[in-house]
Structure 1
């Protein structure tokens, strides 16, 4: 069996960022919105750097305006992920884009997303759980609104709180109130750090937010003391190699620190981040990693086992996904 054919678990997927370009173009056409500026000549998303990527991302998201739009998006995402062999995924979903942070509106969007996910699970065999996601560059007050949405809908489906956005805006500790609110509601915690923010942003995430997972976290390789801390705390990194290369953190997969992090004892997983933006898929990630590091089937099975252990789902769901991993 090719490693790319293995069943896969993905823990770092942005819901809106996984929208296929064709889906967004169709939605823009239906709503008579001109988004031609965000696409290249081949129909893909076009951006020049990380800040521009965020602008294009938010422009694409602007045509997702109703619960039904998000239901359609959810099905499109899950169908594509299932085709890549993903059997369980957690996606980052922001109330800022689903009702503007209003709890009542958020419930309507969430209901539509969950219904679509349930149908997709029956049709495609993929399980989705949601991580509510404040957007860092929208500021701490907006993050509190998102955290309230998360706390009010916490349960078997909304399983965590994360934070994405521009790492250059403020500090992790500025969002402690939002994370404390989510923690008190029983939600699990992750945050983006150690991508553009460097090792210090990972230290902040550990010290000020007390998260159990880190989105990206790859810049930790630059600080041996931080590596020791990650290993001691058994913090899991949601690593997105293809994304890191496209955004210029590393010149290619061979130069990426994924293998060094794993060899140092850090718990690592692999995800796509915003796959159509970065021209990647989970199959492509596996193929690139196998070619760069010589990893074989046992390495990828161990990678998925780590991801399952780090997943925020309940134990019943975890046991079911475990059987799926073991049956192939």
Structure 2
């Protein structure tokens, strides 16, 4: 399974930072964030909300375009080792220049340089989805959306929302999503992880997204499951993340197989892999053990993921050849 070519659609760039990388940056900058690591050097958190605090503390070590350039190289090296050939990563101008457009452009240039080098040297293609941070509020989301609209194009291909699902409602962020849509960006939103099935329905209705980040709690409302299947809404499923955060006790208890059986288009991603002690290769291995999925099932999901990707047709054609090899 680990040797199969893979497509990942749900990866937070900062959340994919190896803890040793962040610890090294913090040491270089004389930052004291040792409290976010355990005795073995792994990230330490108690629950999802503590995870958000640790995530933001780790991100505080990333302070310049050069830091992000190094981060992209480190993350894509790990992706390539798992057989990922195409990846979409969430980026936020909130962390890259404080939503200042000029600063965001500098960060984006550095990120793209590293991505181009990784595509050339490692064979993994990266594209960016700009996300606003839900618990930062709608006003900051508007600023983030303006950054997204101004840099939309061949590399920045989508717009979304992440963060604490319990803060506000999707409709509060409608302006930001309308702004991104008018700029030609494709849309996704985190929902159905902690907010329940109603949060999925609200995101689809109020933000008019074509993909949902997580979305797994839709399984609690079978009418919603049928609607997602009929409308072709794609779920960016991150099983290892859901298990690590206690949403489901084991991979075998995870609803991804049932959602797939009911006709929902599911994809496989790692979310914030070092936080959840996972990789794309491990996700495949655990799903194989839990549901006896074979190469044919994983190839179907990889193709489904590529079909749902936000990149342009030429990029899809190039990646399709790798999936078929």
- Relative to the length of structure 1, the TM-score reads 0.99
Looking at structure 2, the residues matched to 121 and 146 of structure 1 have their Cα atoms a distance apart, in angstroms, of: 27
Q: 2:57 aligns with which of 51, 56, 59?
A: 59
**Alignment correspondent of 2:173:** 175
CA shift, 1:5, in A, is 1.1
| SS across alignment from 1:163 | strand
Q: Which residue of 2 aligns with 1:160?
A: 158
2:250 is equivalent to residue 245 of structure 1: no
Cα deviation per residue 1:141-167 (whole Å; 9 max; x = unaligned)?
111111100000000000000111000
* Residue of structure 2 equivalent to 1:20: 18
User: What's the secondary structure of 2:147's corresponding residue?
Assistant: helix
Report matched runs for 1:203-282 at 5 Å: 203-282=201-280
CA deviation string 1:109-161 (max 9, x = no partner): 00000011001111100000000010100000111111100000000000000
Secondary structure of 1:181's counterpart equals: helix
Hey, which bits of structure 1, 4+ residues long, moved more than 3 A?
A: none
Partner of 2:113: 115
Give the secondary structure class of the aligned counterpart of 2:248.
coil
CA-CA distance at 1:34 after TM superposition: 1.1
Offset, 1:8: 0.3
* C-alpha deviation, 1:193, in angstroms: 0.2
Cα drift, residue 267 of structure 1: 0.2
User: 1:4: Cα distance to partner?
Assistant: 1.8
Q: CA deviation at 1:237?
A: 0.1
Helix, strand or coil at the partner of 1:272: coil
Work out the CA distance in 2 between the residues paired with 1:162 and 1:289: 27
**Deviation of 1:257 (Å):** 0.1
* 1:306-321 equivalences in 2 (<5 Å): 306-321=304-319
1:249-302 Cα distance to aligned partner (Å, 9 max, x none)? 100000000000000000000000000000000000000000000000000000
The alpha-carbon deviation at position 225 of structure 1 amounts to 1.0
Matched, 1:148 2:146: yes
| Alpha-carbon separation, structure 2, partners of 1:325 and 1:120 | 18
Give the alignment's TM-score, normalised by structure 2: 1.00
**1:54-83 CA-partner distances (Å, limit 9, x unpaired):** 000000000100000000001100011101
* Aligned equivalents of 1:196, 1:66: Cα separation in 2: 32
Q: Helix, strand or coil for the counterpart of 2:153?
A: coil
1:290 to 270, 288, 291: 288
Secondary structure of the corresponding residue to residue 134 of structure 1? strand
SS at match of 1:215: strand
SS in 1 for 2:44: coil
Output the aligned Cα RMSD. 0.4
SS of residue in 2 equivalent to 1:156: coil
Displacement of 1:228 after TM fit?
Answer: 1.2
Structure 1 spans left out of the alignment, 5+ residues: none
- Which residue is 1:75 aligned to? 73
Unaligned runs of at least 5 residues, structure 2: none
- Classify the secondary structure of the residue corresponding to 2:90: strand
